Amino acid sequence: MRIVIFGATGGTGRELVRQSVAAGYAVAAVARHPETLAPAAGVELIAADVTDCASVVLVVRGADVVLSALGTRRLKEATTVYSAGVTNILAAMRDSGVRRFIAISAVPVGAPHGLAEHVIFPILYRFFGAAYEDMKRMEAILAASDCEWTVFRPTQLVDRPATGRYRTAIDAPLPGAWRVTRADLAAAMLASINDAALVRHIVTISN
């Protein structure tokens, strides 16, 4: 199986690359500066800008599944990296006949549930609202598409070893859940590749 991973140099992207290789997949690791990843057997490092449709088309050809760990470090600034990125990825997938797409969003993109979220979400939006708004646009684009998508909404991401004890909820919140390791998120995304029950659903995930 050939997996294309966009945003491969970010924290979760690196975990996706590492775990995909360990699982024996052929990996195309895509980023603007993939040279920051250490070369590894089974990994093709590809420099591409997700906002450039032409370069995305070339990357996606021959893929069995596409994973997106796209992100921005400028969380307070207006961005289209999620919405423009997924638009170009979907166009490339249609051009190449690729159906399966798995992406990362965030829990605050959904409606708050419970008193804690009604208090915390407005605070988070003050700092990261620009990114969340574009994630909403990304999710709407996916919902309107005909591809076999799954969106993961993690709680707060932390850089810790995998626990293997993550919880998920399909199209529903996870009350009282606040953190998840990037390694567990990556594991859940890879486990979802062939899970038909998660196609065209949003999955909340936390430890």
DSSP 61-115: TT-SEEEE----S-TTS---HHHHHHHHHHHHHHHHT--EEEEE--GGGS---HH
pLDDT for residue 98 is more than 80: yes
Question: Left (φ > 0), alpha (ψ -120 to 50) or beta: where does 126 sit?
Answer: alpha
Query: Across the chain, what does the average pLDDT equal?
Result: 93
Decide: 77 and 130 in contact? Cβ < 8 Å: yes
**Per residue in 151-203, pLDDT tens?**
999 999 999 999 999 999 999 988 777 899 999 999 999 999 999 999 999 99
**Per residue in 12-30, pLDDT tens?**
999 999 999 999 999 999 9
**Per residue in 100-148, pLDDT tens?**
999 999 999 987 777 667 677 877 778 788 999 999 999 999 999 999 9
pLDDT for residue 76 is more than 70: no
Q: What is the pLDDT of residue 65?
A: 98
pLDDT for residue 77 is more than 80: no
Give the span between the Cα atoms of 204 and 27, in whole angstroms: 25
Cross-strand partners of 47:
31
Q: What is the pLDDT of residue 72?
A: 83
Beta strands at 148-154 and 167-170: parallel, antiparallel or unpaired: unpaired
Give the span between the Cα atoms of 141 and 93, in whole angstroms: 14
Domains located in the chain, CATH noted: 2-206 (3.40.50.720)
Rounded percentage of the chain residues whose pLDDT exceeds 90: 82
Cross-strand partners of 204:
153, 169
pTM of the model: 0.94
Mean pLDDT confidence for 27-45: 93
Give the span between the Cα atoms of 169 and 30, in whole angstroms: 29
Q: Which of 30, 28, 31, 26 has the alpha carbon at shortest distance from 42?
A: 26
Q: What is the pLDDT of residue 116?
A: 62
Question: 39: pLDDT confidence band, cut at 50, 70 and 90?
Answer: confident
- H helix or E strand, kind and range, residue 11: helix 11-22
Q: What is the pLDDT of residue 101?
A: 98
Q: What is the pLDDT of residue 1?
A: 96
Q: What is the pLDDT of residue 171?
A: 95
Residue 162, judged by CB atoms within 10 A of its CB (0-12, 13-18, 19+), counts as: middle
Q: What is the pLDDT of residue 126?
A: 82
Residue 77, judged by CB atoms within 10 A of its CB (0-12, 13-18, 19+), counts as: exposed
Q: What is the pLDDT of residue 160?
A: 95
